Structure 1
Amino acid sequence: MEFHPYFGFLITLQETVKLLPRNGKLLFSVTIISLLLSSIFFLIFNFSSFSLMRDMLPKESLFPMTSSNSAEFATKLMGIKENFPLVLATYIAFVLSYLIISFFSTINTVSVSAMSYNFKTLTLKELTSKFVKSCPRMFITGFYTTILVAGFTFFAISLGTPLLMSSDLDILGSAILLGILAYIFYLYISVAWIMAIVVTVHEEEICGIQALGKSAEIVKGNRLNGFILNIFLNLLSLGIYLGSKMIQGQTFSGLFLVIFSCLVKILTFVIYTVFYFQCKNENGEEIELHGSTVYSKISTTHLVNDIP
């Protein structure tokens, strides 16, 4: 498949739309379960954290009225210290819940999308087996990609922080421009990082640095298309975020953001799975899932030399 330098991403989106109905019931089930789990855990977290913070804030507001040497001060301080581990445990539980849901939606979305792209069906038993086998590899690759994202973020912030400390408007404008350019560059380099997740799920026994290296090879020559896809997905996320700000009520606004962010995440990995196969085809590789035949790119040099 030949990709146009600027409009190849439209081919990916078109293929994604065609792919969605295939194994539609299974993908729909994965989506609904992901949305339900995300919504339930958000509501539990929102209620728990709100209750704990509501209990802590009145105690904090009384500190200025209390002498630091009094027994009342010590009592209030101990009360806050008792609540703090509960708040911390709530946030940790939320993060762990998010990781579990993220693993569930990402692995299953890629698995179903890969089979759908090759016009194959996938049973619930096969999907469950794929999920269990992919989880350890997914954790390793996710660890490396998180380090890359954190490292890039720290580097960008370290460059921009000195500029933000200035009171000069021109320098502040330069800091904002630097932040925008850094984010655009992040969208460009993160194409291979996202693709590494697809490689990890789809290709067995590949994870971590090996998956990152393989993904860099796969997107070589097509990174521009991935970059434009990232822009499209981030604009979609921005629209959802702005839409959540128009909804009254913190709980409803947060729930709206969680639900549609989950949908964008699932859509992202459907799109990237399609993009993965398009890049493989562009490189002359064909892969049959579960089966039997694997076609790989053959060097034309050997074919020429073999001709008498």
Structure 2
Amino acid sequence: MEFHPYFGFLITLKETLKLLPRNGKLLFSVTLISLLLSSIFFWIFNFSSFSLMRDMLAKESLFPMTSSNSAEFASKLMGIKENFPLVLSTYIAFVLAYLIIFFFSTITAVSVSAMSYNFKILTSKELTLKFVKSCPRIFITGFYTTILVTGYTFFVISLGTPLLMSSDLAILGSAVLLEILAYIFYLYISVAWIMAIVLAVHEEIFGIQALGKSAEIVKGNRLNGFMLNIFLNLLSLGIYLGSNMIRGNTRVSGQTISGLFLVNFSCLVKILTFVIYTVFYFQCKKENGEATEFHGSNVYSKIPTTPMVNDVP
């Protein structure tokens, strides 16, 4: 069945659904571990930050009862200042925990999906070794992609901010339209950036080299990648709206429950993203005439498309 070019991404989604049962137990275990880690770190972060903020607010509420020149006022002020490093360290720990979960889920999702695509079984030992070797490459490539995303974001903000300061409704509407178009364009150009992460795991390249090769691989297939990004972002939007509904309908600890819901389903979408992009990677290689064959734990090479000719003595 042939799809319209705008719906070619459905082939990738269809192949992804076929791929999921292969190495299904390992992929399920990886997903479960990622969700458990996300939940544990979220609960720790939520409890710690809430306790610290509550303590700071309690101390701040006592300020009106004390004179600004008294020793008691100075003591309370010092108590609040002492809490700031704790709050900062809590947020830093949360970011580090997020990076650990991101590395784990990304590397395992790409590795298991690549093996499944080639009908190979990946053992836990091989997966652990793959994780250790891939972490530095993921970190470096992620650093470069973060710079690109940040630079693009600041560029768009610098263009839109002057327009948003205007009181003219037409100019404000133009600013909103500009932001929407900028985000749509971001979904288009970020195809190669996400693919670079897949390459960092699968082909053992990183940084500028991974970004350059990913741009070559998606050439001619960027529209399908763009449609995949739209699909994944709509899925993320649905999860975000669902978490808001939970927050609105829950009286007790609604914010905590909705936050846990958002964190876990965001983790699921992230794993799904890299499973889909791994399938998309192989499809792009196939479209470019670079069929791949498995040779060992993590090395794939190009299969010659021309017949082999034996040498004549």
TM band (smaller chain): over 0.9
Specify the alignment match of 2:131 in structure 1.
131
Deviations 1:17-58 (A, max 9, x none): 000000000000000000000001001100000000000012
The 1-side partners of 2:234 and 2:300 are apart by 39
The residue correspondences of 1:219-258 to structure 2 (distance < 5 A) are 219-247=218-246, 248=250, 249-258=254-263
Q: 2:274 aligned with 1:269, yes or no?
A: yes
Give the Å deviation of 1:59.
2.2
Farther off after superposition, 257-266 or 54-63: 54-63
Is the CA contact 2:156–2:179 (under 8 Å) kept in the aligned structure 1? yes
Report deviation, 1:172: 1.5
Letter in 2 for 1:20: L
Per-residue deviation at 1:297? 6.6
Q: Which amino acid aligns with 2:130?
A: K
CA distance in 1, matches of 2:201, 2:114: 10
- 1:176 CA drift (Å): 1.0
Deviation at 1:231, TM superposition (A): 0.3
Does the CA-based 8 Å contact 2:295-2:301 persist in structure 1? Answer: no
After superposition, the C-alpha distances for 1:186-227 in whole angstroms (9 at most, x for unaligned) are 0000000000000110002x1000000000000000000000
Aligned to 1:110: 110
SS of structure 2 residue aligned to 1:6: helix
Q: How does 1:88-237 map to 2 (within 5 A)?
A: 88-204=88-204, 206-237=205-236
Give yes or no for the alignment of 1:280 onto 2:305.
Answer: no
Q: TM-score, normalised by structure 1?
A: 0.93
The 8 Å contact of residues 34 and 101 in structure 2, kept in 1 or not, is answered as yes
* CA–CA separation in structure 1 for the residues paired with 2:39 and 2:101: 11
- Say which SS state the counterpart of residue 166 (structure 1) adopts: coil
Deviations 1:260-288 (A, max 9, x none): 11100000000000000000000001222
**Stretch of structure 1 that moved more, 279-288 or 70-79:** 70-79
Displacement of 1:71: 2.4
Q: Paired residue for 1:32?
A: 32
Are the aligned partners of 1:110 and 1:198 in contact in 2 as well (CA < 8 Å)?
yes
Q: In the TM superposition, what is the alpha-carbon distance from 1:293 to its structure 2 partner?
A: 6.9
How far residue 112 of structure 1 moved from its aligned partner, in angstroms, is 0.1
Instruction: Sort the Cα spacing of 1:281 and 1:4 in 2 relative to 1 into closer, same or farther, 3 A.
Output: farther
Q: What's the CA shift for 1:175?
A: 1.3
Q: Give the drift of 1:65.
A: 5.2
Opposite residue 284 of structure 2, the aligned amino acid is C
Indicate the residue corresponding to 1:69 in structure 2. Answer: 69
8 A contact 1:284–1:296 mirrored in 2: no
Paired position in structure 2 for 1:6: 6
8 A contact 1:283–1:297 mirrored in 2: no
TM-score by length of 2: 0.91
Separation in structure 1 between the aligned mates of residue 138 and residue 3 of structure 2, nearest angstrom: 29
Segment of structure 1 superposing worse, 187-196 or 72-81? 72-81
Q: Distance in 2 between matches of 1:44 and 1:99?
A: 16
Count of residue pairs brought into register by the alignment: 299
Classify the secondary structure of the residue corresponding to 2:92: helix
